[in-house]
Amino acid sequence: MTNEQYIEEILSSYDFEGTYTGYRHITAGHINTTFALQFDICGKNKQFIAQKINTNVFKTPVELMENMVNVTNHLAKKIEEAGGNTERETLHAVFAKDGKPYHIMADGSFWRCVNFITDAYSCDTIENPTVFYNAGAAFGDFMSKLADFPGESLHETIPDFHNTKQRFQNFLIALENNKSGRKDNVKEEIDFVLQRKEDSEKLVNLIAEGKLPIRVTHNDTKINNIMFDNQSNLGLCILDLDTVMPGLSLYDFGDAIRSGAGTAAEDEKDASKMKLNIELYKAYTEGYLSTAGKSLTPTEAENLAFSAKLLTFECGMRFLTDYLDGDTYFHTDYPEHNLVRTRTQFALVADIEKHMDELNEITAELYGRYSN
């Protein structure tokens, strides 16, 4: 089906107010396909988001939507209690005419609609420490709001999503199978992974030893998954709730640093431009601890800087795995896209490793300040 046919079917399956005036394709995100639908309501412009869920990645989309409805109802309650605006501070599913929070198209594809967050912006990279501080505060607040959400009621939308020990094994399988035939082009990157087997096991082992608390976490805290208010630049609304599952605070912290505190874009072709911006690291950590510091245990705090390295390593390893598999998971725009992404991530890992002592010092100082 064409985009126009999809949208026509969305329009007939939902009860949108006003007159439909057109759509925009939103290209952020490597997994789902996203459109903004525009309506005219008595001269006022209103938008909704329509999204095609990638069911190759999310194999149980009905359960995924059940998670989303329950999580966003919980968030909406907290926002109301605090006197906030639930239309702007959380996503919520729009229900189709048949009463379901999704629509299955004639061709079997799985779609959902959600509210559009008005007067707000998102960014793929961040340069302003204040904005990044605000992102940290917003992600910390997101976790706090979900602290009393029953984690056991959540479906696991992607099993072993941040199980880095398993991710390492998956990488070895991809290497062995070499489906793409590209293995010989990437010897250096393969060695980079193999040298860090121990890192990939560290948090998994701490979980097994009962040393890290399992919380309800976002698990995909990429910096473009947050909307900032146009006026205040505060983190207004957290997007992309498809992987909200039981997890570690460290996954959310580490992935935000990975995606926001680097000096280059995730797919910068000159990987030597990718370094860690320590000022940004500090800003995010301070923002995050300002809202989450009191709830973090000392063991979590001790592993924050390590988690920035680990989540960056995990992401690079996933890009490399997909490159070896022949680009079947992440959306790519050109044949070497996953390799380019791998290289930026590994450059960032290497730079984080260089500064690990300094990062641990910064983190310990801030944790001391915000934990009591």
Tokens of 354: 């260089």
Stretch of 25-33, 82-90, 184-192, 198-206 contacting ligand GN1, by CB under 6 A:
25-33
Could you say which of 89, 141, 189, 240 contacts Mg ion (CB under 5 A)?
Answer: 240
Residue 226 β-bridge partners? 238
Q: How far apart are CA 369 and CA 91, in angstroms?
A: 33
Kindly tell me which of 141 and 220 has the beta carbon lying closer to ligand GN1. Answer: 220
In the list ligand GN1, Mg ion, none, the entry touching 347 (Cβ below 5 to 8 angstroms by class) is: none
Tokens of 164: 């880095």
225 binds ligand GN1 (CB under 6 A): yes
220 binds Mg ion (CB under 5 A): yes
Q: How far apart are CA 325 and CA 277, in angstroms?
A: 32
Tokens of 212: 């890290």
In the list ligand GN1, Mg ion, none, the entry touching 57 (Cβ below 5 to 8 angstroms by class) is: ligand GN1
Q: Which residues contact 365 (CB under 8 A, 6 or more apart)?
A: none
| Residue appearing with tokens 């609609």 | 113
Q: How far apart are CA 326 and CA 313, in angstroms?
A: 20
Q: How far apart are CA 35 and CA 9, in angstroms?
A: 14
In the list ligand GN1, Mg ion, none, the entry touching 30 (Cβ below 5 to 8 angstroms by class) is: ligand GN1
Chain residue whose CB lies nearest Mg ion: 240
Number of residues lying near ligand GN1 (CB under 6 A): 12
Q: Which of 199, 307, 310, 314 is nearest to 253 (CA)?
A: 307
Could you say which of 131, 138, 174, 315 contacts ligand GN1 (CB under 6 A)?
Answer: 315
Could you say which of 72, 90, 180, 243 contacts ligand GN1 (CB under 6 A)?
Answer: 243
Stretch of 62-70, 78-86, 218-226, 227-235 contacting ligand GN1, by CB under 6 A:
218-226
Q: Does residue 91 contact residue 114 with C-beta atoms inside 8 Å?
A: yes
Kindly tell me which of 20 and 330 has the beta carbon lying closer to Mg ion. Answer: 330
Q: Residue 72 has what DSSP assignment?
A: H
Q: Which of 95, 109, 116 is nearest to 35 (CA)?
A: 116
C-beta of 242: minimal distance to Mg ion in Å?
6
Could you say which of 78, 182, 196, 222 contacts ligand GN1 (CB under 6 A)?
Answer: 222
Contact map string, positions 251 to 280, toward ligand GN1, x by CB under 6 A: ----x----------x--------------
Q: Does residue 361 contact residue 285 with C-beta atoms inside 8 Å?
A: no
What is the contact surface with ligand GN1 in residues (CB under 6 A)? 29-31, 57, 220, 222, 225, 240, 243, 255, 266, 315
What is the contact surface with Mg ion in residues (CB under 5 A)? 220, 240
